[in-house]
Chain A
Amino acid sequence: MRLPSTKPFIAAIMAAALAAAAPRDANAADPAPAASPWRIGMSAAFSGPAEALGAGMRDGVLAYFAAVNARGGVHGRPLELVARDDAYEPARTAPNMRALADEDHVFAVIGNVGTPTAAVAVPIADEKHLPLFGAFTGAGLLRKSPPDRYVVNFRASYAEETAEMVRGLVTELGIRPEQIGFFTQNDAYGDAGWKGAVAALERLGYADAANLPHGRYPRNTVDVEAGLAELLDPRVDVRAVIMVGAYKPCARFIQLAKAYDFAPYFLNVSFVGSDALAGTLGADGDGVVITQVVPLPDGDTAAARELQATVPAEKRNFVTFEGFLAAKAFVAALERAGADATPESFLDAVESGAPFDLGLGVEHRLSKAEHQFSHRVWPTVIRGGRFVALARWTDLLPQESAR
């Protein structure tokens, strides 16, 4: 009778000791800030095949935060980023998100990477009333109508990217819809891009878009053969492949296709990781199209110039730029929310309808019905290992004729 009564007691003491120890350690790591910092969380891939994406986002965000902290922080409070690695595995995203909310007590989460990871992050953000800001994904599940209160996006959606692809292919290059094929990752990310394209095709009057050739590959593998086999089927004549995947399988797919004398237009969405893709493809990359949700990092937009002034050239790329812009949008909203902002007042400031200017040449007005800063898509093409803005889709034609 005595044993059960003492056991939970001891357990309770131990739990209390652990609970007390955890925040002390976290505080001890802080460089003694002048005022209590804005603590912002992040859960992204800092290992595994998508490592470059997570690292890029983190670099962009940290670069902007550092710039803001250098000029005194937001309302006198410095910004602090707590980043946790989920290796692009949803199973690790959930504990990361809970730890950020319950242990790190972050104000918001910024720059998460990936769609399958977002599928578990969004419910947790809703549950914890934790703003999920500028995630590196264009999936529809972060863009519901009306939007989730706690989800705020910076970038255009995959649907908007693939819709731009379809528009360029069909209306500018004159490709028939049935000549379009898909190569997608076998998960929510791939589905998101594919569905956006299908919807765009249907809007153009092509009802059978769902039955277009569609090859898939398992996430985190480079087993692209089965998918390529689908597109090589002699019964179809695929002239353009819309690719929704990671850079490694996509690069291998392009190279393997070329090995089998299969040379359609290859079109990738921004998530692919442009520089990584271009680097992996090397000479095979010429003519590969990648749609971007940010302008060229080395371009001459105001935002790009700010990036150039802040981030060294070797780290400057589309992903860094997106992280940079997401951080900029976040800071702008936080400035507006005030010194004693809470997550709720922050979201109220976001939804206020007042215009934000991020240096992209447009004003962004958000509301309860609009939780996305940018709807713009910038198509680019790899020429000689470098990215070139694709001003007109017909710019692709000479290259094909050259082949």
Chain B
Amino acid sequence: MKSAEHAIERNVKLIAGVGAVLCLTLGGALVIVQQNLGATQSELADVVVPTQGALEDLSGSVGALFLRESEIVGADAAALPALADRSGPVRAVEAAEAQLRALATRPTLAHVEGFGAAVSDLDASVAAFSAADAELFPAVSKHRALAARFEQNVAAIDADLRQVVQASGGLAGVLRLEYVAMLRRVAAEIGGGSVRAELVRPAILGDSRAQLAAIDRLDAAVLRLGMLAGRVGLAQSTDALNSLAANELVQNRGEISQELATIARLVGDDAVADRVAALRETAEALAARVGDEERPDSLASLRRQMLAETARVGEIQRTAAGDAGRVSAAAALVRDAAAQAARNAQDDAEATIATSRLVTLVIAVIGLVLAFIAGIRVRSSVFALRAQNAKLTKLSDDLARTNEGLEDTVRKRTAALQLVLDSTGDGMLAVGLDGEILPERSRAVVDWFGDPASDERLWGYLAPADPTLRDSLWLGYEQLASNIFPFEVAAEQAPALLARDGRTYALSYREVSDGGELDRVLVLVRDITAQLDAERAEREARELHVLIGNILRDREGFRQTVAECTALIELARRSEEPLVVRRALHTIKGNSGIMGFVRLADEVHELESRMADEERSPTAEELDAIDAIWHESLAGIEDYLGSSERRVIQIDEDEVCELLDVARRSGAYAEILPIVEHWCDEPVAVPLERLATQARHLAKRLGKEVDVVVDGGHVRVAPEPLKELWSTMVHVVRNALDHGIDTADERRDAGKSAAGRLELTARQLGDTLEIAIADDGRGIDWESVRERAIARGLPHAAHEHLVDALFADGLTTMRVATALSGRGVGLGAVRAACRSVGGSVTAESEPGRGTRFVIRVPWQLVAHAVPAHAA
């Protein structure tokens, strides 16, 4: 362990060291690279960029000068003076050149091949351009001045020319008029017939015609002079001007002076001579002004000078253009050189970057390798550490478990001892989760059940002889121990009673958990035999009490019912017909319940439940058991019941008064006898009242508040024929109370009085005795009856079918039978009883309003049944 830790420490230190060295090295490399790049950058910024800027300035200034040249050449006289000043662009050029020369000394540029030469070249060409440019403005100015003078001369010459033309035209008119006048005179002579010679001679031999011809030629020459002047003004080259001057102008001048001389020579009139002389002077001066090249301001010489100046300006412009071209070529060279310098700097920077990348890569690779090796070594050390750690954990766990086991044992022992000490009276035994009987148990258990065999399980120990109980104990305990359900729930379901060796024990279960987990179960056993016996005795006493009460209330009815029950039990034991047996048992249950034979009623109810669950008839043993209970119950009350065969006739006070009235009035035997005979019959009110009593009992048991009303209508009938019928009618009453009368809550919701009402009535209706049992309860759910009828395959189409089905055996609309009714047997028994005496039973019901059962019996059957011994 120590060695592993040391290895890790050593290797981590190694990694840290390598990392530090790497960082330092990389940082150093970065600083160097940045310095190099920065130097390059600043060199570019300080040298190359200003060089390019200076070149831009220079080009711009030269361009401005060049542009100014074309402006000068194109400017008119007014605009020209404004262009004289060229100092601005010239200063800009000089400044740019100075900057360039200064930059040329910088090493970055000086090292570039040809840079110095290019700058010198640029200097020279700029100087040449500047010199040419300086000459342009004076040349153009001079040309403009010449042009202005030329224009003035042209205008003056033009005016003079018009004057000359006009003068010559006027002169020609004068001469022509003279001539025409002369001809006119000749013509007049000719018209007169004789022509005088002195008139004709001058016309033919005189000078007039010659003068006219000369003046015509003069006109033409003057016009030509005007044309020539125009051509001189338009001459575009010295050659053309030379040609004009040497040929046309000289010739024209000769013509004009010759014609004028001719005219002057010929003219006689003084006035005309004056005009000719004036014309001659003007014309010759004009010709000289146009064509005499010896005069500096003649049109021709001015034009000549202008042409020369134009040529000079063109020459200057060409020179300047050539120089400007050289300037831009030189500037391009300089710019190339500067660009070369920039490229050099960039190449340096790229080389630096490449080198730095390589160095960085090498350092990084070395670092990675070292880190990898160190990492592997750290990893192996960590593995060794982890193995040691696992071993230590296991040891620690084992130690802890040992400790816990010890503590557990001590705790269990202590608890068991405590339990044993605490439970000396009751039986108590500890059971393992697998049912094993643990050593801890109380003495009482051993006293009751003996010592358990080794490996004895709880169920085998407690119920060695009863396999059913054993199985249920087993299952119950398994559920308890499985811990699936909460312990309390499972304990509730486990067997709680144990009958053994004529004693009864109560079982209960306690949970013994350990750390929240069920560890084992403590089973408590209590002997409750004596307690049960006491309870039973008390119950029997209470039952007897009720029975005696009932006997005292209606001894005759009670006796009849007892007899009937005895008969029914006999019937059930004898009969082979399952339906008969079921009906009999059911009636027994009802009657015994009403009379207060609680044990019998309970027993029959249980028997009925078993029969329904297992769908079978009762066994002989079961019926014997019922019989035994019945006789046992009867044995207790025989003393109170008295003789069973003695009959009592009840007579109301009204009836006695009636008899007394008859007797006092006449006392005739014939009148008294029928009354007394009739007394032998039983008032219908008695059995009805008996039913009402039963109904009130039932209502009380059911917890319903019911007003039971009886109306016998003073009808007396022979009791014997209807004996069976009365006993079955209890089913109808039971039905009415159990199913018919609704609960107080339901009644309130339905808007009825809280107390239900049951009416029991009887009356004689012609030859029929009509007994009605009516309630104001829920009524019959006919739809439910229909469903049942369908389920049982009975007719169900019409209402009569449903009424029939209601009285069919086994039909009930209740899902759960109660102790009082609901087996679907009672109404069938009623119908059977009615039919057996030739009567009928019907049911009328309106849902929610109540049900009315009506039993009709022929009157003949029940009238005047005088007892046999009285008859």
Binding site for B on A (CB under 8 A): 1-4, 7, 218, 221, 223-229, 232-234, 256, 260
On whether A218 and B179 interact (CB within 8 A), knowing A1-B60, A224-B173, A226-B172, the answer reads no
| B166 at the binding interface (Cβ < 8 Å) | yes
| B187 at the binding interface (Cβ < 8 Å) | yes
| A232:B187 contact, CB within 8 angstroms | no
Interface string of B52-85 (1 = CB under 8 A from A): 0000000010011001100100000001001100
| B651 at the binding interface (Cβ < 8 Å) | no
The contact sample of 22 A-B pairs, CB cut-off 8 A, is A1-B63, A1-B64, A2-B64, A3-B68, A3-B83, A4-B71, A7-B82, A218-B166, A218-B169, A221-B166, A223-B166, A224-B173, A225-B170, A225-B176, A226-B172, A226-B177, A228-B177, A232-B184, A233-B180, A233-B184, A234-B184, A234-B187
Interface string of B149-177 (1 = CB under 8 A from A): 00000000000000000100110111011
| B186 at the binding interface (Cβ < 8 Å) | yes
Question: Taking the nearest CB of chain B, how far is it from the CB of A14, in angstroms?
Answer: 12
| B64:A226 contact, CB within 8 angstroms | no
Q: Which residues of A contact B172 (CB under 8 A)?
A: 226
Q: Which of B82, B169, B172, B177 has the most CB of A within 10 A?
A: B177
| B170:A1 contact, CB within 8 angstroms | no
| B181 at the binding interface (Cβ < 8 Å) | yes
Q: Which residues of A contact B82 (CB under 8 A)?
A: 7
| B68:A232 contact, CB within 8 angstroms | no
Across the interface, B67 reaches (CB within 8 A) one of A1, A228, A256, namely A1
Q: Which residues of A contact B498 (CB under 8 A)?
A: none
On whether A232 and B60 interact (CB within 8 A), knowing A7-B82, A223-B169, the answer reads no
Across the interface, B177 reaches (CB within 8 A) one of A1, A232, A234, namely A232
Q: Which residues of B contact A224 (CB under 8 A)?
A: 173
On whether A225 and B177 interact (CB within 8 A), knowing A1-B60, A3-B68, A234-B187, the answer reads yes
CA distance A388 to B224 in the complex (A): 50
Interface string of B331-346 (1 = CB under 8 A from A): 0000000000000000
CA distance A26 to B534 in the complex (A): 155
CA distance A228 to B186 in the complex (A): 17
On whether A260 and B177 interact (CB within 8 A), knowing A4-B71, A218-B166, A225-B170, the answer reads yes
| B183 at the binding interface (Cβ < 8 Å) | yes
- A-B residue pairs, 9 tightest by C-beta: A226-B173, A225-B173, A234-B187, A223-B170, A225-B177, A229-B176, A229-B180, A229-B177, A232-B180
Q: Which residue of A lies closest to B174 (CB)?
A: A225
Q: Which residues of B contact A7 (CB under 8 A)?
A: 79, 82
Question: Taking the nearest CB of chain B, how far is it from the CB of A230, in angstroms?
Answer: 8
| A229:B179 contact, CB within 8 angstroms | yes
Question: Taking the nearest CB of chain A, how far is it from the CB of B511, in angstroms?
Answer: 111
| A226:B169 contact, CB within 8 angstroms | yes
On whether A232 and B181 interact (CB within 8 A), knowing A1-B60, A3-B68, the answer reads yes
CA distance A151 to B169 in the complex (A): 37
Chain B residues numbered 176-233 whose CB sits less than 8 Å from any CB in chain A: 176-177, 179-181, 183-184, 186-188
Question: Taking the nearest CB of chain A, how far is it from the CB of B160, in angstroms?
Answer: 16
CA distance A233 to B176 in the complex (A): 10
On whether A234 and B183 interact (CB within 8 A), knowing A226-B172, A227-B173, the answer reads yes
Question: Taking the nearest CB of chain B, how far is it from the CB of A287, in angstroms?
Answer: 22
| B181:A260 contact, CB within 8 angstroms | yes
Chain B residues numbered 645-698 whose CB sits less than 8 Å from any CB in chain A: none
Q: Which residue of A lies closest to B71 (CB)?
A: A4
CA distance A278 to B543 in the complex (A): 186
Q: Which residues of B contact A260 (CB under 8 A)?
A: 177, 181, 184
Q: Which residues of B contact A2 (CB under 8 A)?
A: 64, 88
8 further A-B contacts with Cβ under 8 Å, apart from A2-B64, A3-B68, A229-B173, are: A3-B64, A218-B166, A224-B173, A227-B173, A228-B173, A229-B176, A229-B179, A232-B184
Q: Which residues of B contact A232 (CB under 8 A)?
A: 177, 180-181, 184
CA distance A234 to B71 in the complex (A): 67
Question: Taking the nearest CB of chain B, how far is it from the CB of A245, in angstroms?
Answer: 15
Question: Taking the nearest CB of chain A, how far is it from the CB of B842, in angstroms?
Answer: 125
CA distance A234 to B187 in the complex (A): 6
Question: Taking the nearest CB of chain A, how far is it from the CB of B3, in angstroms?
Answer: 87
CA distance A1 to B181 in the complex (A): 76
Q: Which residues of A contact B187 (CB under 8 A)?
A: 234
CA distance A223 to B172 in the complex (A): 10
CA distance A260 to B166 in the complex (A): 23
Q: Which residues of B contact A4 (CB under 8 A)?
A: 67, 71
Question: Taking the nearest CB of chain B, how far is it from the CB of A197, in angstroms?
Answer: 23
CA distance A260 to B217 in the complex (A): 27
CA distance A227 to B172 in the complex (A): 11
Q: Which residues of B contact A225 (CB under 8 A)?
A: 170, 173-174, 176-177
Question: Taking the nearest CB of chain B, how far is it from the CB of A177, in angstroms?
Answer: 22
Q: Which residues of B contact A218 (CB under 8 A)?
A: 166, 169
Question: Taking the nearest CB of chain B, how far is it from the CB of A267, in angstroms?
Answer: 21
Q: Which residue of B lies closest to A231 (CB)?
A: B180
Q: Which residues of B contact A223 (CB under 8 A)?
A: 166, 169-170, 173
CA distance A227 to B173 in the complex (A): 7
Q: Which of B68, B83, B174 has the most CB of A within 10 A?
A: B174
Q: Which residue of A lies closest to B85 (CB)?
A: A3
Question: Taking the nearest CB of chain B, how far is it from the CB of A233, in angstroms?
Answer: 6
Q: Which residues of B contact A228 (CB under 8 A)?
A: 173, 177
Q: Which of A221, A223, A224 has the most CB of B within 10 A?
A: A223
Q: Which residues of A contact B177 (CB under 8 A)?
A: 225-226, 228-229, 232, 256, 260
CA distance A7 to B82 in the complex (A): 9
Q: Which residues of A contact B83 (CB under 8 A)?
A: 3
Q: Which residues of B contact A256 (CB under 8 A)?
A: 177
Q: Which residue of B lies closest to A232 (CB)?
A: B180
CA distance A228 to B184 in the complex (A): 12
Question: Taking the nearest CB of chain B, how far is it from the CB of A214, in angstroms?
Answer: 14
Question: Taking the nearest CB of chain B, how far is it from the CB of A19, in angstroms?
Answer: 18
Q: Which residues of A contact B71 (CB under 8 A)?
A: 3-4
CA distance A223 to B63 in the complex (A): 62
Q: Which residues of B contact A229 (CB under 8 A)?
A: 173, 176-177, 179-180
Question: Taking the nearest CB of chain B, how far is it from the CB of A213, in angstroms?
Answer: 11
Q: Which residues of B contact A221 (CB under 8 A)?
A: 166, 170
Q: Which of A4, A223, A229, A233 has the most CB of B within 10 A?
A: A229
CA distance A227 to B174 in the complex (A): 10
Q: Which residue of B lies closest to A225 (CB)?
A: B173
CA distance A3 to B88 in the complex (A): 10
Question: Taking the nearest CB of chain A, how far is it from the CB of B59, in angstroms?
Answer: 12
Q: Which residues of B contact A226 (CB under 8 A)?
A: 169-170, 172-173, 176-177
Q: Which residue of A lies closest to B184 (CB)?
A: A234
CA distance A86 to B173 in the complex (A): 29
Q: Which residues of A contact B67 (CB under 8 A)?
A: 1, 4
Q: Which residue of B lies closest to A218 (CB)?
A: B166
CA distance A3 to B179 in the complex (A): 70
CA distance A1 to B83 in the complex (A): 13
CA distance A2 to B61 in the complex (A): 11
Question: Taking the nearest CB of chain B, how far is it from the CB of A229, in angstroms?
Answer: 4
Q: Which residue of A lies closest to B64 (CB)?
A: A1
CA distance A260 to B88 in the complex (A): 78
CA distance A233 to B177 in the complex (A): 9
Question: Taking the nearest CB of chain B, how far is it from the CB of A218, in angstroms?
Answer: 6
Q: Which of B88, B180, B186 has the most CB of A within 10 A?
A: B180
Q: Which residue of B lies closest to A1 (CB)?
A: B64
Question: Taking the nearest CB of chain B, how far is it from the CB of A89, in angstroms?
Answer: 13
Q: Which residues of B contact A1 (CB under 8 A)?
A: 60, 63-64, 67
Q: Which residues of A contact B183 (CB under 8 A)?
A: 233-234
Question: Taking the nearest CB of chain B, how far is it from the CB of A250, in angstroms?
Answer: 15
CA distance A1 to B61 in the complex (A): 9
Q: Which residues of A contact B60 (CB under 8 A)?
A: 1
CA distance A223 to B279 in the complex (A): 15
Q: Which residue of B lies closest to A7 (CB)?
A: B82
Q: Which residues of A contact B169 (CB under 8 A)?
A: 218, 223, 226
Q: Which residue of B lies closest to A6 (CB)?
A: B82
CA distance A24 to B177 in the complex (A): 58
